[in-house]
Amino acid sequence: MRQAGWPIPRTLASSILAAAAALAVWSFAPDAFPRSHTSILGLAFFAGILAVVTGRLMCLGNAWLVLTAIATPALVLVPIYRPPSWVFPLIALVLAGFYINGVREKVPLYLSNSATERALADLFRKMGGGTFIDLGCGLGGIVDRISAALPESHVIGVETAPLSFLASWLRLNGQGRRNATIHYQSIWDTDVGDADVVYAFLSPAPMARLFEKLKAEMKPGSIFISNSFAVPDREPDEVIGVDDSRQTQLLVWRM
Ligand SMILES: C[S@@+](CC[C@H](N)C(=O)[O-])C[C@H]1O[C@@H](n2cnc3c(N)ncnc32)[C@H](O)[C@@H]1O
């Protein structure tokens, strides 16, 4: 999978390169940017765009591009404005609120794209609907799309990164979506016995343990779909190619 390998160093590299380029322009070509708040904000914006372009060239996934787009302007503004020291723990807390599972579970936040959401909704519709669980639902995009496409189905998302959970919960409850539920719950504590489809877009780290759990708990006839990540020594029963730019593969196991 192109966007999965070492995204944290690549995100840092794109941010640092772009911020350094912007600060170099600021220091060595003072005429290009007059010393006003407007031009400093322009410089920060320019650095954010540069970081996204650099990140794209480094094949970063969308969530990492969002992170670099936010972090890079901050890297530019900090040495110029020297904000009070409490700003830094606050930024760290916000980032941890979304990305803590990158450290705890080796599964950071990145998002399934809309082509994948459509492919999953089509597959679930062909199966006749039922109960769909997204293990580690991120910002709730999959739960949103599937529950809207199949109003008779029940779609559940579980998430333990606090701000991702909050974003999903607000997203689904804000729309009053009755057939969607978001739980603050670990994948490992989630009962998958009633699920017709379990979907996961995680990382290589939890796949062997996760498959053992699902094999033990899922009912006969249900399916497990892993976006991109294989299960060691377990060939999928089917591989569905998604027609998107990163050539997403949905690996399907029948239970
Ligand atoms: C790669 S994102 C996928 C998000 C979403 N499923 C999608 O496809 O757009 C994986 C998510 O799993 C969450 N996660 C990782 N380990 C978890 C665990 N043990 N319990 C609940 N969520 C977990 C992470 O916080 C992250 O938001």
Residue boundaries of the structural domains of the chain: 7-83, 114-254
Q: What is the pLDDT of residue 64?
A: 81
Determine what percent of the chain is predicted with pLDDT higher than 90.
64
Sign of the CA dihedral running 161, 163, 169, 172? negative
Beta bridge partners of residue 253, listed in sequence order: 224
Ligand 1 centre distance from Cα of residue 24 (Å): 38
Q: How does residue 246 score in pLDDT terms, banded at 50, 70 and 90?
A: confident
**Ligand 1, pocket-test mutation among 137, 165, 186, 249, most atoms within 8 A of CB:** 137
pLDDT of 116 reads 95
Q: Round to whole Å and give the CA distance between 169 and 190.
A: 17
Q: Is 198 in the pocket of ligand 1 (CB under 6 A)?
A: no
Is the Cβ atom of 253 under 6 angstroms away from ligand 1? no
Which letter does DSSP use for residue 234 in this model? B
Instruction: Name the residue at shortest CA distance from atom 11 of ligand 1.
Output: 136
Ligand 1, atom 17: closest residue by C-alpha: 136
Q: Which of 31-35, 90-94, 132-136, 144-148 has the lowest mean pLDDT?
A: 31-35
Please name the residue whose Cα sits nearest to atom 23 of ligand 1: 136
**What would the mean pLDDT of 201-207 be, rounded to a whole number?**
94
Higher per-residue confidence, 102 vs 211 = 211
Which CATH architecture is the domain 114-254 placed in? 3-Layer(aba) Sandwich (3.40)
The Cα angle at residue 230 between residues 162 and 164, in degrees rounded to 5: 10
pLDDT over 60 at 147, yes or no: yes
Taking CA atoms, 236 is separated from 201, 204, 246, in Å, by 15, 15, 20
pTM strictly above 0.85: no
* The pLDDT value given to residue 201: 96
Confidence at 79, pLDDT banded by 50, 70, 90: confident
Closest residue by Cα to residue 253 from 219, 216, 213, 226: 226
DSSP string, 156-204: EEEE-SHHHHHHHHHHHHHTT-TTEEEEE--GGG---TT-SEEEE---S
How many percent of the chain have pLDDT more than 70? 96
Please indicate whether residue 144, judged by its CB atom, sits closer than 6 Å to ligand 1. no
Distance (angstroms) between ligand 1 centre and the Cα of 105 equals: 9
Given this model, what pLDDT does residue 61 score?
A: 76
Confidence of residue 91 (pLDDT cuts 50, 70, 90): confident
pLDDT score, position 3: 45
For residue 111, is pLDDT > 60? Answer: yes
Rounded mean pLDDT of the chain? 91
For the residues 165-173, what does the mean pLDDT come to? 96
pLDDT bracket for residue 2 (50, 70, 90): very low
The model's confidence at residue 145, banded by pLDDT at 50, 70 and 90, is: very high
Digit-coded pLDDT (tens) for 4-51: 567 788 889 999 999 999 888 888 876 766 677 888 888 899 999 999
Check pLDDT > 60 for residue 1.
no
Q: What is the pLDDT of residue 118?
A: 94
Question: Could you give the strand order of the β-sheet that contains 238-241, starting from the edge strand earlier in sequence?
Answer: 180-184, 154-159, 131-135, 197-200, 223-227, 249-254, 238-241
The Å distance, Cα 82 to ligand 1 centre, comes to 35
Is 134 close to ligand 1, i.e. is its CB under 6 Å away?
yes
